[in-house]
C-alpha cells in the first residue's frame, strides 16, 4: 500500500487587506491538492469563491450544507462562474479546508470537497464541480461581493503525492 505525503507548495499571509489571492504555476506532479486557510474579513459576511485557470465561464456548480447549532440549511448553485466554498465569514475569522481530487487529470471534470468552521456562523461542508478536463494550474480565491480578506489571513497550498 502506498503512503501519501503532503508537500507544501506555497503559503501566503496577507500583509494588507486584499480582494483576492492567486496561486499560479501549480505543478501537475501531485495526485491531489489541499488548501488550508484561516481568513478574517475587513467587513462582516463575505463569501469566498474559487476559480480555476482564469475560467470565468458558467462551468461551476456547488452543493452546500451548513448549521450553527440553532439552524441548519442547504443550497445548490449550478452554471456559476465560480464555486462558493465559504460564506458568512466575519471579522472574527474562520478556517477552511479544500480538497481537490485528481486536479491534474486531463480526462475528467474536477471535483472539490470543502469544510470549514466560522467563528460566529457555525460550520459548513460543500462539494463542487468544475466542468473542465483541463489540469488545474492556477487557483484564484476571492470574495463574491468584492469585499476584502483582512491583513493576517493565511493560505497554505499542499500537494499530495503517493509514493
| Mean pLDDT confidence for 67-86 | 88
Q: What is the mean pLDDT of the chain?
A: 88
Q: Does 120 have pLDDT greater than 90?
A: no
Higher-scoring residue by pLDDT: 59, 67: 59
Q: Does 76 have pLDDT greater than 70?
A: yes
DSSP per position, the chain? -PPEEEEEEEEEE-SS-BSEEEE-S--S-SSEEEEEEEE-BSSS-EEEEEEETT--SS-EEEEEEEE-SS-EEEEEEEEESSEEEEEEE-TT-EEEEEEEETTT-SSS-EEEEEEEEETTTEEEEEEEEE---SPP--EEEEETTS--BPTT-EEEEEEEEE-
Domain locations along the chain: 4-162
- The whole-number pLDDT of residue 84 equals 83
pLDDT confidence tier of residue 57, bands split at 50, 70 and 90: very high
Higher-scoring residue by pLDDT: 160, 90: 160
Percentage of the chain exceeding pLDDT 70: 88
- Residue 111 grid cell: 471535483
- The whole-number pLDDT of residue 145 equals 74
pLDDT confidence tier of residue 121, bands split at 50, 70 and 90: low
Fold of 4-162: Jelly Rolls (2.60.120)
Tens-digit pLDDT profile for residues 124-143:
889 999 999 999 999 999 88
Q: Does 1 have pLDDT greater than 60?
A: no
Q: Does 29 have pLDDT greater than 70?
A: yes
Amino acid at each position: 500500500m502506498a503512503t501519501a505525503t503532503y508537500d507544501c507548495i506555497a503559503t501566503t499571509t496577507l500583509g494588507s487587506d486584499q480582494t483576492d489571492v492567486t496561486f499560479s504555476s501549480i505543478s501537475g506532479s501531485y495526485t491531489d491538492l489541499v488548501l488550508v486557510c484561516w481568513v478574517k474579513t475587513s467587513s462582516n459576511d463575505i463569501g469566498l469563491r474559487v476559480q480555476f485557470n482564469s475560467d470565468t465561464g458558467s462551468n461551476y456548480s456547488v452543493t452546500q450544507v451548513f448549521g450553527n447549532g440553532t439552524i441548519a440549511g442547504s443550497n445548490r448553485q449550478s452554471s456559476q462562474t465560480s464555486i462558493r466554498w465559504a460564506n458568512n465569514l466575519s471579522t472574527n475569522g474562520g478556517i477552511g479546508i479544500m480538497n481537490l481530487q485528481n486536479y491534474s487529470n486531463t480526462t475528467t471534470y474536477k471535483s472539490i470537497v470543502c469544510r470549514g468552521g466560522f467563528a460566529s456562523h457555525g460550520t459548513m461542508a460543500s462539494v463542487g464541480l468544475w466542468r473542465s478536463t483541463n489540469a488545474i494550474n492556477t487557483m484564484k480565491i476571492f470574495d463574491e461581493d468584492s469585499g476584502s480578506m483582512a491583513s493576517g489571513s493565511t493560505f497554505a497550498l499542499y500537494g499530495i503525492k503517493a509514493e
